[in-house]
Structure 1
Amino acid sequence: MRPLIETKAFPQSLNGEVARVVSRLVHEEDHQGSGNFCVQVQGELLEIPNRLHYRSTLLDHAIEGSELSHQISACLGTRHHDGFVRQRCLERLLPVRQPWVVPYVVALLGEYVLPIIMLIEAHSRSDELGLYGEFLARNTQYLKKTERRVMSYWDAYHRHPYPQYAQYPGFLAMSALKNAANSAAATIDTDLSNRGVNA
């Protein structure tokens, strides 16, 4: 059995549930993904895999429902090597209001699959971006990295349908998330000042 890297991708309080979810998804012949990215979520460092290799049939079954195990499965599914699987998992996650879900959604914005980017752009038009703003305000380097990736993938793959970068759904979503991050940063700075703490 391969090392259980997925537990590092969620808050420690979810370790038991993550282990149970992964035990139902992983087979001995499956190989784990390579590389990860690190972000802070509510003071915890999460190490989220860049890509994971599960059998899509098992994953499709695992994301059916709205319980915690289904949400964890959908998060892991956003790192799947198949873009169609990532899209199905994203559709399950967008209504979920949990801080640990946010980095999985944001990561997809920095990829190249246009239907996924369009889903995130539509979601970014909502008034419920508070968790996204707080996450990005506390992960400014990750925000900058994602923004660079959005522009790079537009330049490489999506210039033809969107000649102007300002019309590209990835840019529109990124702009909305940056605005949310700026609002959250102002709130964080005000809170720290009120408590007499240097930001």
Structure 2
Amino acid sequence: MFQDGFPNYMRDDVTKAVRLIPHKTYNNGVSKDNIQYYQDNNVIRFPYRIYYNDISDEVIDNLSVRQKMILHCIYSRSCDGFVRQKHLYSLLLMDYEDWAIPYIVKICDEYVLEILEMTYDILKEQDTKRIKRFCLENIVQFCKSYNRMISYWNEYYRYRYKNFHHYVGRKLFRECFGYSRSMERRKKG
């Protein structure tokens, strides 16, 4: 189930990392819903949510850099927003590889404002050409993510950010991920 979320050449690292995930869960382990993107002409598919208890920092500290990234990606799908934020933060501070980008982009169309703020604060200081290229490669899914981010602003944050142009989600998607209105027209063509 997690192997499809990473390139085939990482199979051994994914297997080793996944074996360390605690068997104790909040629910059924993983949701039936999957997220799907394309990257380098390959399908990347991972669970919308995982329900595993968080993995200890001590376990993560004993892994290779790549295995740490894998676990941070997997736990960015946690049902617990604090766990998602913790692992995304760790991932963003690493020299993350391109295969981690789908996980970074996906978490940003969700409703946790603190995750959007943290991600924007980190990415606005980085060169995000690789992320922008990924978003362009997945233009239909990315435009859906942008619209989903807007719906969460409208539902939960409109009172705080009355002007959408000042909303951190909009800034993140436009400045760091490369969203533009022309993408909406291009996805239809």
Q: Which residue of 2 aligns with 1:16?
A: 12
Q: For residue 127 of structure 1, report the CA deviation from its aligned partner.
A: 4.0
**Per-residue Cα deviation, 1:161-186 (whole angstroms, up to 9, x for no partner):** 1111111100010111353789xxxx
- Partner Cα separation in structure 1 for residue 2 and residue 139 of structure 2: 24
Identity, in percent, stands at: 25
TM-score by length of 1: 0.81
* Root mean square deviation of aligned Cα: 2.1
- The structure that has the greater radius of gyration is 1
Q: Which residue of 2 aligns with 1:115?
A: 114
Q: Which residue of 1 aligns with 2:155?
A: 156
**Per-residue Cα deviation, 1:38-93 (whole angstroms, up to 9, x for no partner):** 1112221110210011112x254444477111110000010000000000001111
Is residue 9–residue 46 contact of structure 1 (8 Å, CA) maintained in 2?
yes
Is residue 85–residue 115 contact of structure 2 (8 Å, CA) maintained in 1?
yes
Is residue 35–residue 47 contact of structure 2 (8 Å, CA) maintained in 1?
yes
Is residue 62–residue 73 contact of structure 1 (8 Å, CA) maintained in 2?
no
Is residue 37–residue 48 contact of structure 1 (8 Å, CA) maintained in 2?
yes
- Partner Cα separation in structure 1 for residue 49 and residue 71 of structure 2: 14
Q: Which residue of 1 aligns with 2:23?
A: 27
Is residue 36–residue 44 contact of structure 2 (8 Å, CA) maintained in 1?
yes
Is residue 38–residue 44 contact of structure 2 (8 Å, CA) maintained in 1?
yes
Q: For residue 104 of structure 1, report the CA deviation from its aligned partner.
A: 0.6
Q: Which residue of 1 aligns with 2:88?
A: 90
Comparing 112-121 with 59-68, greater Cα deviation is found at: 59-68
Is residue 129–residue 180 contact of structure 1 (8 Å, CA) maintained in 2?
no
Residue ranges of structure 1 left out of the alignment (5+ in a row) = 183-199
User: Following superposition of structure 1 onto structure 2, how do residues 1-199 of structure 1 map, counting pairs within 5 Å?
Assistant: 5-27=1-23, 31-56=29-54, 58-64=55-61, 67-95=65-93, 96-179=95-178
- Partner Cα separation in structure 2 for residue 71 and residue 181 of structure 1: 29
Q: For residue 135 of structure 1, report the CA deviation from its aligned partner.
A: 0.4
- Partner Cα separation in structure 2 for residue 103 and residue 170 of structure 1: 17
- Partner Cα separation in structure 1 for residue 57 and residue 148 of structure 2: 28
Tell me the secondary structure at the aligned position of residue 110 of structure 1: coil
Number of aligned residues: 177
User: Cα gap change, 1:148/1:63 in structure 2, threshold over 3 Å: closer, same or farther?
Assistant: farther
Residue ranges of structure 2 left out of the alignment (5+ in a row) = 182-189
Tell me the secondary structure at the aligned position of residue 38 of structure 2: strand
